[in-house]
Protein backbone atom coordinates (compact mmCIF):
# COMPACT_ATOMS: atom_id res chain seq x y z
CA UNK A 1 0.00 0.00 0.00
CA UNK A 2 1.08 3.60 -0.59
CA UNK A 3 2.41 5.34 2.51
CA UNK A 4 1.75 9.08 2.74
CA UNK A 5 3.97 11.26 4.92
CA UNK A 6 2.79 14.76 5.77
CA UNK A 7 4.97 17.62 6.94
CA UNK A 8 5.24 19.53 9.08
CA UNK A 9 3.41 17.78 11.90
CA UNK A 10 2.39 21.15 13.36
CA UNK A 11 2.38 24.58 11.76
CA UNK A 12 1.78 27.79 13.69
CA UNK A 13 1.09 30.94 11.68
CA UNK A 14 -0.64 34.31 11.98
CA UNK A 15 -3.80 35.58 10.33
CA UNK A 16 -3.03 36.82 6.83
CA UNK A 17 -0.03 34.48 6.40
CA UNK A 18 0.28 31.76 3.78
CA UNK A 19 0.43 28.10 4.81
CA UNK A 20 2.12 25.42 2.72
CA UNK A 21 1.46 21.80 3.72
CA UNK A 22 3.33 18.90 2.18
CA UNK A 23 2.29 15.32 1.41
CA UNK A 24 4.90 12.86 0.11
CA UNK A 25 3.98 9.42 -1.23
CA UNK A 26 6.11 6.27 -0.99
CA UNK A 27 5.43 5.62 -4.68
CA UNK A 28 3.95 7.57 -7.55
CA UNK A 29 0.26 8.46 -7.24
CA UNK A 30 -1.23 7.60 -10.61
CA UNK A 31 -3.11 10.36 -12.42
CA UNK A 32 -2.64 12.60 -9.39
CA UNK A 33 -5.47 10.87 -7.58
CA UNK A 34 -4.84 12.75 -4.35
CA UNK A 35 -7.34 14.51 -2.10
CA UNK A 36 -7.07 16.89 0.85
CA UNK A 37 -9.44 17.13 3.81
CA UNK A 38 -9.83 19.52 6.71
CA UNK A 39 -11.01 18.32 10.11
CA UNK A 40 -11.95 20.68 12.91
CA UNK A 41 -12.21 19.39 16.50
CA UNK A 42 -15.30 17.29 17.08
CA UNK A 43 -16.29 17.38 13.41
CA UNK A 44 -16.13 15.03 10.47
CA UNK A 45 -13.50 15.65 7.79
CA UNK A 46 -14.49 17.91 4.91
CA UNK A 47 -13.25 17.48 1.34
CA UNK A 48 -11.19 20.44 0.13
CA UNK A 49 -9.31 19.24 -2.95
CA UNK A 50 -9.51 16.21 -5.27
CA UNK A 51 -7.44 15.26 -8.27
CA UNK A 52 -4.55 17.07 -6.57
CA UNK A 53 -5.76 20.52 -7.65
CA UNK A 54 -9.54 20.64 -8.14
CA UNK A 55 -11.46 22.46 -5.43
CA UNK A 56 -14.53 20.81 -3.97
CA UNK A 57 -17.89 22.57 -3.95
CA UNK A 58 -17.90 25.68 -1.79
CA UNK A 59 -14.14 25.81 -1.19
CA UNK A 60 -12.73 29.35 -1.66
CA UNK A 61 -9.96 30.03 -4.17
CA UNK A 62 -7.50 31.01 -1.42
CA UNK A 63 -7.18 27.23 -0.90
CA UNK A 64 -5.26 25.49 -3.67
CA UNK A 65 -3.59 22.16 -4.30
CA UNK A 66 -0.66 21.24 -6.48
CA UNK A 67 2.02 18.71 -7.21
CA UNK A 68 2.33 15.43 -9.04
CA UNK A 69 3.94 12.02 -8.84
CA UNK A 70 5.08 11.64 -5.23
CA UNK A 71 5.08 15.25 -3.98
CA UNK A 72 1.94 17.26 -3.33
CA UNK A 73 1.16 20.51 -1.57
CA UNK A 74 -1.85 22.26 -0.11
CA UNK A 75 -1.56 26.04 0.03
CA UNK A 76 -3.85 28.27 2.07
CA UNK A 77 -3.45 32.00 1.45
CA UNK A 78 -4.63 34.86 3.66
CA UNK A 79 -5.07 32.65 6.70
CA UNK A 80 -8.14 33.18 8.84
CA UNK A 81 -8.83 31.93 12.38
CA UNK A 82 -11.34 29.42 10.92
CA UNK A 83 -8.46 27.68 9.12
CA UNK A 84 -7.29 26.19 12.41
CA UNK A 85 -7.70 22.44 11.91
CA UNK A 86 -5.95 19.21 11.08
CA UNK A 87 -5.40 18.62 7.37
CA UNK A 88 -5.13 15.15 5.84
CA UNK A 89 -4.05 14.04 2.39
CA UNK A 90 -5.41 10.81 0.89
CA UNK A 91 -4.44 8.86 -2.22
CA UNK A 92 -7.07 6.94 -4.14
CA UNK A 93 -5.03 5.66 -7.09
CA UNK A 94 -4.20 2.33 -5.41
CA UNK A 95 -6.26 0.07 -3.20
CA UNK A 96 -6.52 0.45 -0.30
CA UNK A 97 -6.88 4.19 -0.30
CA UNK A 98 -4.60 5.58 2.39
CA UNK A 99 -4.37 8.75 4.45
CA UNK A 100 -1.43 10.74 5.70
CA UNK A 101 -1.04 11.18 9.44
CA UNK A 102 -2.18 14.80 9.30
CA UNK A 103 -0.77 18.31 9.77
CA UNK A 104 -2.15 20.46 12.56
CA UNK A 105 -2.44 24.11 11.53
CA UNK A 106 -2.68 26.60 14.36
CA UNK A 107 -3.56 30.25 13.79
CA UNK A 108 -1.95 32.39 16.47
Partner 1 sequence: QVQLVQSGAEVKKPGASVKVSCQASGYPFGTYGINWVRQAPGQGLEWMGWVSTYNGQTQYAQKVQGRVTMTTDTSTTTAYMELRSLRSDDTAVYYCARGVIVPSARAYYFDYWGQGTLVTVSS
Query: Which residues contact partner 1 (rule: CB under 8 A)?
Result: 30-31, 33, 35, 37, 44-47, 50-51, 56-57, 88, 90-102
Least Cα distance to 25 among 61, 82, 73, 75 occurs for 73
Nearer to partner 1 among residue 15 and residue 31 (C-beta): 31
Nearer to partner 1 among residue 77 and residue 93 (C-beta): 93
- Report in angstroms how near the CB of residue 47 gets to partner 1 at its nearest: 5
* CA-to-CA dists, residue 27 to 15, 50, 93, 107, angstroms: 35, 18, 11, 32
Query: How far apart (Å, rounded) are the C-alpha atoms in residues 56 and 36?
Result: 10
Nearer to partner 1 among residue 15 and residue 97 (C-beta): 97
Amino acid sequence: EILLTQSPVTLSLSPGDRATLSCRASQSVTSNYLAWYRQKPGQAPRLLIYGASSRATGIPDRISGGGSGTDFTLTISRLEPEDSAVYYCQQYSNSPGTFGQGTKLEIK
